[in-house]
């Protein structure tokens, strides 16, 4: 639902811009958006301005740093999310990576831990189908670093067997963390349409003394369209 909302907002925003361009034929247009999705990094940025010249985006960034031409037509979209770039609204461009839209086929599942007591290190082994999915990135979650401590994240991906080994560890001398939260965030790329499972084959929690405690794993089904 969220993805579709973004797409609709973006289409409406640029449709309005296009209609105004036909009526007034402005050379420069400045679009001020409440939020903008950086399609290169995947980050959601607040209070952004895009400057358009002769129908092409020439700059984007924080509104306070934007250099807007004096003759620019200004469009205010404080409640909209703008996606500058290609939008797969319905044509399923992400279904076939050979078309050159590989990055549009990415998914970002998160491995979470609940009911943890005195967690210092969390080793995981995740199994996936390498014919269907490709691991693009592994990044640290917020759980083990919630008190500001830097977390060491080590991972090894065997893309021939579809085995991803990850260990997230707090720094030496740091106390353990209790509660629940995200351990790691995985960025996956779809390689073929269909269904694939993503399973935590082995998981555990270690305390500051490196004593192990069992942790129940989980599995999820990824549907690729």
Q: For residue range 57-89, list pLDDT tens digits in order.
A: 899 899 999 999 988 888 888 888 888 875 555
Contact predicate 113/185, CB 8 Å: no
| Residue bearing the bigger pLDDT, 199 or 155 | 155
Q: What is the model's pLDDT at position 112?
A: 58
What is the rounded distance in angstroms from the CA atom of residue 35 to the CA atom of residue 48?
6
pTM listed for this prediction:
0.50
DSSP state of 42: -
What is the rounded distance in angstroms from the CA atom of residue 5 to the CA atom of residue 35?
13
Per-residue pLDDT for 5 more than 50? no
Same fold, 2-82 and 93-224: no
| Residue bearing the bigger pLDDT, 57 or 8 | 57
Per-residue pLDDT for 97 more than 70? no
What is the rounded distance in angstroms from the CA atom of residue 27 to the CA atom of residue 79?
25
DSSP count for the chain of H helices, then E strands: 1, 14
Per-residue pLDDT for 172 more than 60? yes
**What is the pLDDT confidence band of residue 2, given thresholds at 50, 70 and 90?**
very low
**What is the pLDDT confidence band of residue 41, given thresholds at 50, 70 and 90?**
confident
User: Rounded to 5 degrees, what angle do the CA atoms 42, 47, 53 make?
Assistant: 85
Q: What is the model's pLDDT at position 63?
A: 92
**Under CATH, what is the fold of the domain 2-82?**
Urease, subunit C; domain 1 (2.30.40)
Q: Which CATH architecture has domain 93-224?
A: Sandwich (2.60)
Per-residue pLDDT for 49 more than 90? yes
Contact predicate 217/126, CB 8 Å: no
Domain ranges (residues) in the chain: 2-82, 93-224
Share of residues in the chain with pLDDT > 70 (%) = 69
Share of residues in the chain with pLDDT > 90 (%) = 12
Residue range 147-164: mean pLDDT, rounded: 90
**What is the pLDDT confidence band of residue 115, given thresholds at 50, 70 and 90?**
low
Residue range 200-211: mean pLDDT, rounded: 81
Q: What is the model's pLDDT at position 101?
A: 43
Q: What is the model's pLDDT at position 65?
A: 92
Q: What is the model's pLDDT at position 170?
A: 92
């Amino acid at each position: 639902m969220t993805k579709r909302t973004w797409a609709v907002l973006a289409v409406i925003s640029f449709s309005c811009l296009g209609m105004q361009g036909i009526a007034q034929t402005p050379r420069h247009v400045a679009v001020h958006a409440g939020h903008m999705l950086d399609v290169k990094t995947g980050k959601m940025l607040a209070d952004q301005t895009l400057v358009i010249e002769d129908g092409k985006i020439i700059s984007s960034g924080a509104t306070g740093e934007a250099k807007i031409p004096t003759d620019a037509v200004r469009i205010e979209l404080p409640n909209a999310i703008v996606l500058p770039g290609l939008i797969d609204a319905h044509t399923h461009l992400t279904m076939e990576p050979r078309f050159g839209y590989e990055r549009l086929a990415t998914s970002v599942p998160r491995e979470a831990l609940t009911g943890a007591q005195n967690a210092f290190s969390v080793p995981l082994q995740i199994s996936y189908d390498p014919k269907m999915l490709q691991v693009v990135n592994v990044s640290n979650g917020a759980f083990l670093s919630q008190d500001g401590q830097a977390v060491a994240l080590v991972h090894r991906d065997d893309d021939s067997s579809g085995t991803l080994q990850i260990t997230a560890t707090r720094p030496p001398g740091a106390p353990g963390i209790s509660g629940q939260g995200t351990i790691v965030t995985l960025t996956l790329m779809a390689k073929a349409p269909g269904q694939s499972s993503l399973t935590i084959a082995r998981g555990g929690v270690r305390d500051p003394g490196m004593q192990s405690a069992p942790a129940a794993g989980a599995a999820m089904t990824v549907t690729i369209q």
